[in-house]
Amino acid sequence: MSLREKLSGTIAPLFTPFTDSGDVDHESLRRMVRWQHANGSTGISIGGSTGEPSSQTIAERAEAIRTISEEIQGTGLSFVPGTGSAKLNETLELTAAAQEVGVDAALIITPYYARPTQEALYQWYATVAREFPDLPLIAYNVPSRTAVEMAPETFARLYRDFDNIVGIKETTKDFEHFSRTMYACGSDVLMWSGIELLCLPLLSLGGVGFISALSNIAPKAVAETYNAGVANDWDRARDLHYGVHPLVDLLFVETNPAPAKWLMAQRGLISSAHVRSPLIELTEAGQEKVLALAESASAYLTDVNI
- In tens, the pLDDT along 190-231 reads 999 999 999 999 999 999 999 999 999 999 999 999 999 999
Specify the 3-state DSSP secondary structure of 303: coil
**CATH number of the domain that residue 77 is part of:** 3.20.20.70
d(CA 230, CA 249): 25
C-alpha torsion sign, points 93, 81, 110, 281:
negative
* Residue 249, in any domain of the structure: no
d(CA 198, CA 192): 9
Task: Give the residue numbers spanning the domain of 108.
Answer: 3-233
Q: What is the reported pLDDT for 207?
A: 97
Residues 6 or more apart from 282 whose CB is under 8 A from it?
A: 253, 254, 258, 259, 261, 262, 273, 290
Q: What is the reported pLDDT for 3?
A: 97
Query: Are the C-beta atoms of residues 274 and 262 closer than 8 Å to each other?
Result: no
* Residue 247, in any domain of the structure: no
* Residue 257, in any domain of the structure: no
Q: What is the reported pLDDT for 289?
A: 98
| Number of independent structural domains in the chain | 1
Low-confidence ranges of the chain (pLDDT < 70): none
Q: Is 220 a catalytic residue?
A: no
Query: Are the C-beta atoms of residues 139 and 115 closer than 8 Å to each other?
Result: no
Residues 6 or more apart from 197 whose CB is under 8 A from it?
A: 241, 245, 248
* Residue 266, in any domain of the structure: no
Catalytic residue among 6, 169, 220, 261: 169
* Residue 42, in any domain of the structure: yes
Catalytic residue among 112, 140, 226, 300: 140
**Over the stretch 124-154, which tens digit does the pLDDT of each residue have?**
999 999 999 999 999 999 999 999 999 999 9
Q: How far is CA 37 from the centre of its chain?
A: 15
**Over the stretch 251-267, which tens digit does the pLDDT of each residue have?**
999 999 999 999 999 99
d(CA 38, CA 40): 6
Amino acid in the structure at residue 3: L
* Residue 264, in any domain of the structure: no
Q: What is the reported pLDDT for 305?
A: 82
